[in-house]
Chains A and B, each alone.
Chain A
Amino acid sequence: MLSLSREYISFMAAGLGASGLYSPSNDSDMSESCCRIHNLRENFVMADATDTGNPQRKPDWLQIIAIGRNPQYTLARIIVLVALCVFLFHYVLLAVKVDGISMQPTYKNRSVNLVNRWAYLWHEPRRGDVVAIRLAGVHLMYMKRIIGLPGETVAFSDGTVLINGQPLAEPYEKWHCDWTLPPKKLDMDEYFIVGDNRTMPSQNHTFGVVERFRIVGKVLL
């Protein structure tokens, strides 16, 4: 049992050396690292210690719950997690709260969602995507659905969206509206966006043509 544990410890030490955490330069460092690993894997080696009569301190569960078995590793994990979260929620995802009824019933008022800022790194926005539209920044944005793509002509005829004169199937629109709007030709960097809730008069609904640079990302959920 003991020899097996030593093998296990040597294996772990080699692993640490490879990861740069431990360099087996001398024997004293080796013994320190072995102790550390021993503490880390207390449960594994506990049986050996009992067999050989070596007294072992029982793990302090409160300490383990609070800071883990090895505070250094816990600190390293915390730093990595914080850095990851900062990167993720600053550069990749934006947490947003829906304020308003223009995207009902798909997105309810005051619901929380995420915007993927990397969604359009490899392809352009597609029809049907729900996107976040920026104003001067990203603290307050519009949330709308893309129905018209660059170069297309968009019109409304008695509530039906016409793309280049052809009706567009919109399964997400649950409540029929009666909007009638003249055709609008989009430039090559323009998209036509509108909310899912079109029960109000068109004058009271924020929608229209938006330039590509204002599309921040795709709403995830």
Chain B
Amino acid sequence: MKYLPRIIFLAIAAALAVWLWTVFFPSPEKVIRKQLLSLAGDVSFSPGQNNLVKIAHAQSIADFFATNVVLDLTLPEHPEQTTLGRDEITQAALVTRQQLTELDVKFPDINVTVAPDQNSATADVTVEGNVSGERDAILQEVKFTFQKVDGHWLISRVETVRVLS
């Protein structure tokens, strides 16, 4: 029994060490998850937002993507479109902000799978988008492909997944 306090202390210390390790050296899954949540925040905008803030967010969206990004999106009632390049993404974000007054994007489910080589990963994400003036939310499963470039995880491909056909 006299060793019990020591054992408890060691267990707490070990748990603390593991927690600190995960804080300072997060796993790729955690980094990608955090990055996607930031992306959702940057894509969203509210009507009362300052124009400069809107432009800054629109430009920061491009930072999440690789230079040779491929967008393969088939949204309901919208034609399939493929855009290449980060400039087009920034442009699309700016146009969206001009056309809509409010957009709220959430990623309620994110499933990240890292490749064995630790240099690429895929994330299956449920995207929930609420557009001002629309009664129903847009619901879509999207697959993001990530590539590790210079130590940073960048999105190289975005494609919609058909749940119902």
Name A residues whose Cβ lies closer than 8 Å to a Cβ of B.
Answer: 99-100, 133, 135-140, 142, 193, 203, 206-210, 214
A210 to B164, CA, bound (A): 5
Q: Are B126 and A136 in contact (CB under 8 A)?
A: yes
Q: Are B109 and A139 in contact (CB under 8 A)?
A: yes
Q: Does B42 lie at the interface of the complex (its beta carbon under 8 Å from any beta carbon of A)?
A: no
Q: Output the nearest chain B residue to A133 by Cβ-Cβ distance.
A: B163
Q: Does B22 lie at the interface of the complex (its beta carbon under 8 Å from any beta carbon of A)?
A: no
Contacts beyond the supplied A136-B109, A142-B164: 9 A-B pairs with Cβ under 8 Å: A133-B164, A135-B109, A135-B139, A136-B124, A137-B108, A137-B111, A140-B109, A193-B164, A209-B164
Q: Main SS of the interface on chain A?
A: loop
Q: Which residues of B contact A133 (CB under 8 A)?
A: 163-164
Name B residues whose Cβ lies closer than 8 Å to a Cβ of A.
Answer: 77, 108-111, 124-126, 128, 136-137, 139-141, 161, 163-165
Q: Are A214 and B128 in contact (CB under 8 A)?
A: no
Closest 6 CB pairs of A and B: A137-B109, A208-B164, A139-B108, A136-B109, A136-B126, A136-B124
Q: Are B125 and A136 in contact (CB under 8 A)?
A: yes
A210 to B162, CA, bound (A): 9
Q: Are A135 and B164 in contact (CB under 8 A)?
A: no
Q: Output the nearest chain B residue to A203 by Cβ-Cβ distance.
A: B77
A99 to B138, CA, bound (A): 12
Q: List 23 A-B contacts (CB under 8 A).
A: A133-B163, A133-B164, A135-B109, A135-B126, A135-B161, A135-B163, A136-B109, A136-B124, A136-B126, A137-B126, A138-B109, A139-B108, A139-B109, A140-B128, A140-B139, A142-B164, A193-B164, A203-B77, A206-B164, A207-B164, A208-B164, A208-B165, A214-B163
